[in-house]
Amino acid sequence: QTLEKLEKSLEEVERSNAELEQFAYVTSHDLREPLRMISSFLQLLERRYADKLDEDANDFIGFAVDGAKRLDDLINDLLIYSQVNSKRREFSSVKLEGILEETLTNLKVAIDENNVVITHDPLPIIYGNDQSMIQLFQNLIGNAIKYRSDETPKIEISVKKEDKQYLFSIKDNGIGIDPKHLERIFTIFQRLHSDREYEGTGIGLAIAQKIVIQHGGQIWAESELGKGSTFYFTIPNQ
């Protein structure tokens, strides 16, 4: 009977989770269109009217453009978050070497601008979804670059084959995280910095966690303030 009860509450949790995902999807999708309109008129103002308006007005337009950009990032991340468990994300063999290559291409501007040095072990083939894997690597490596210290950013990607799983680690020499915050950084909208210090949505690690769980693995981090952080995740080996 207890098992039956447990199964029932699990079903309920799954259902409300699915509803929440659907809600996030619909709202973020519907917010996109009006935002696109706002952004395009702001761009028009910037391009055609800059010299007709005084300095204050131009500043105000700049603030509005920044706000629209932040909203756009937020909507995009929410859409990704709501789509991780989508049935359209089918699983197949995924060559992580290719995934990393594509991720580094996506992050090329940030990597070049900051002279980031990235080293990595040969990566295995896993069973999963390629789009999700790109998002996972992109969020973790993107953060390692964003939260860099004054030193030249160095990122080490390692993988160990264990009995039933691969253990991946992404190590940076960035600003680090106070160990007391290590649990909550994977919760959606939990950020340790203000937008003025580092731009962000607080959704990246929540997406990463969702992806890893969907692939049957676990994700966690170890860190020391001022020294750097290491993010670990596991993926079953077939």
- Tell me which stretch binds ligand ADP (CB under 6 A): 55-63, 101-109, 117-125, 139-147: 139-147
For residues 156, 104, 153, 224, the Cα torsion angle rounded to the nearest 10 degrees is -50
SS3 content of the chain, % helix, strand, coil (to 5): 55, 20, 25
Instruction: Give the shortest CB-237-to-ligand ADP separation in angstroms.
Output: 26
Token couple for 204: 């990246």
| Separation of alpha carbons 141 and 214, rounded Å | 20
Q: How far is CA 40 from CA 34, 43, 68, 70, 185, in A?
A: 10, 5, 10, 15, 34
Q: Phi and psi at residue 228, in whole multiples of 5°?
A: 135, 175
Instruction: Give the shortest CB-178-to-ligand ADP separation in angstroms.
Output: 9
Binding mask 190-209 for ligand ADP (x = CB under 6 A): -xxx------xxxxxxx---
Instruction: Give the shortest CB-81-to-ligand ADP separation in angstroms.
Output: 10
Site residues (CB under 6 A) for ligand ADP, limited to 73-102: none
Q: How big is the site for ligand ADP, counted in residues (CB under 6 A)?
A: 21
Q: Is 135 in the site for ligand ADP (CB under 6 A)?
A: no
Nearest CB to ligand ADP, comparing residues 45 and 136:
136
Binding mask 160-179 for ligand ADP (x = CB under 6 A): ------------x-xxxx--
Nearest CB to ligand ADP, comparing residues 90 and 224:
224
Instruction: Give the shortest CB-188-to-ligand ADP separation in angstroms.
Output: 8
Pairing verdict, β 117-120 and 154-161: parallel
Are 222 and 232 in contact, with CB atoms under 8 Å apart? yes
* Residue appearing with tokens 């937020």: 74
Nearest CB to ligand ADP, comparing residues 98 and 202:
202
Nearest CB to ligand ADP, comparing residues 31 and 188:
188
Nearest to 157, CA basis, from 90, 107, 84: 107
Q: Is 128 in the site for ligand ADP (CB under 6 A)?
A: no
Nearest CB to ligand ADP, comparing residues 58 and 169:
169
Token couple for 113: 């601008």
* Residue appearing with tokens 């756009």: 72
Q: Under the rule (CB under 6 A), what is the footprint of ligand ADP?
A: 139, 143-144, 147, 172, 174-177, 185, 191-193, 200-206, 229
